[in-house]
C-alpha cells in the first residue's frame, strides 16, 4: 500500500466539509433584509507519511533497550512520546488543535506508515522495552510508545476542535502497513552455552490516577506496530 493512497480519504473528507461551508456562505436574498454574512471557517490539518522498505539487518548477540521509566508524571495538556531502540524503527507524533468562534471549526490529522520487504536476522539478541512508573497523576491527552527491536512502527495522532460556532469536526486517520518481511530468530552458541533471542516488554505501575485520554504502546521484537489516535470535538 502506498502511503499517498492512505491519506486520500482524509483529503476527500476535508474537501467535502470545506465545500459545504463555502456553499453555506453564499448570500441568499430571501426575507431578512439583504445578503447574509458568509460563515467563517477555522481549520488545522497535519498530514504525513513514512516509508521503511528493502532493508537488511543482522543482529549478532545484540542488546536493544528502550525505556520510558519514571516519565510523563504530573503533567497536563497534550504529551506525546516515542522511545525507540534498534534498527529501522519509525516514530511520529501529530497534533492538530483549533479553537475559536468561527461558524465551522475543523481539526484533522492523517498519518501513513509503510514497512515492507525487510530482512532481519537475530542471533542471541535481546530486545527489552519498558514503560514503568510513567504517566501517573496526569491529565489531558497522554500518549507513550516504547519499542525495542527492528522495523517497529509507533504513531500518535491528536485532533481537537473546540469552538462556539455552528458546527465542526475532528478526525484522526492512521494507516500502517507491514508486509513482505522476513525475520529469523536463532540462538547463538551450542549446548548449555546457547543464548536464545529474548524479547521483553513491560508496563508496570503506569497510567495510575490519570484523567482524560491515556494511551500507551510497548513493543519488543521485530516489525511491530503501535498507534494511538484521538479525535475530540467540543462545542
Please choose, from the candidates 165, 209, 186, the residue with its C-alpha nearest in 3D space to the C-alpha of residue 121.
186
**Which grid cell sits at 142?**
497522554
Contact between 144 and 75 under an 8 Å Cβ cutoff? The reply is no
DSSP-assigned beta bridge partners for residue 139: 76, 211
Residue 49, pLDDT score: 85
Q: Does the reported pTM lie above 0.75?
A: yes
What is the 8-class DSSP label of residue 88? S
Please choose, from the candidates 178, 185, 216, 180, the residue with its C-alpha nearest in 3D space to the C-alpha of residue 199.
185
pLDDT single digits (tens) 158-215? 999 998 878 889 999 888 888 889 999 999 988 888 899 999 999 999 999 999 999 9
Confidence of residue 33 (pLDDT cuts 50, 70, 90): low
Please choose, from the candidates 216, 210, 221, 176, the residue with its C-alpha nearest in 3D space to the C-alpha of residue 74.
210
Contact between 156 and 177 under an 8 Å Cβ cutoff? The reply is no
Residue 6, pLDDT score: 46
Residue 65, pLDDT score: 95
pLDDT single digits (tens) 129-167? 999 999 999 999 999 999 999 999 999 999 999 988 788
What is the DSSP secondary-structure string of 143-154?
EEEEEEEES-EE
Amino acid at each position: 500500500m502506498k502511503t499517498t493512497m492512505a491519506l486520500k480519504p482524509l483529503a476527500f473528507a476535508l474537501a467535502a466539509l470545506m465545500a459545504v461551508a463555502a456553499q453555506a456562505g453564499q448570500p441568499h436574498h430571501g426575507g431578512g433584509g439583504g445578503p447574509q454574512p458568509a460563515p467563517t471557517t477555522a481549520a488545522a490539518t497535519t498530514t504525513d507519511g513514512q516509508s521503511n522498505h528493502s532493508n537488511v539487518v543482522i543482529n549478532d548477540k545484540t542488546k536493544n533497550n528502550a525505556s520510558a521509566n519514571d516519565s510523563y508524571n504530573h503533567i497536563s495538556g497534550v504529551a506525546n512520546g516515542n522511545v525507540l531502540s534498534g534498527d529501522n524503527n519509525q516514530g511520529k507524533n501529530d497534533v492538530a488543535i483549533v479553537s475559536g468562534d468561527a461558524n465551522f471549526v475543523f481539526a484533522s490529522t492523517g498519518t501513513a506508515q509503510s514497512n515492507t520487504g525487510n530482512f532481519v536476522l537475530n542471533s542471541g539478541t535481546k530486545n527489552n522495552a519498558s514503560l514503568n512508573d510513567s504517566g501517573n497523576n496526569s491529565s489531558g491527552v497522554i500518549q507513550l510508545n516504547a519499542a525495542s527491536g527492528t522495523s517497529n512502527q509507533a504513531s500518535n495522532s491528536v485532533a481537537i476542535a473546540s469552538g462556539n460556532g455552528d458546527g465542526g469536526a475532528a478526525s484522526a486517520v492512521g494507516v500502517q502497513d507491514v508486509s513482505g518481511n522476513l525475520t529469523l530468530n536463532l540462538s547463538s552458541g551450542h549446548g548449555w552455552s546457547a543464548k536464545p533471542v529474548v524479547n521483553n516488554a513491560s508496563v508496570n505501575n503506569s497510567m495510575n490516577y490519570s484523567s482524560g485520554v491515556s494511551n500507551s504502546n510497548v513493543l519488543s521484537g521485530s516489525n511491530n506496530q503501535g498507534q494511538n489516535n484521538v479525535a475530540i470535538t467540543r462545542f
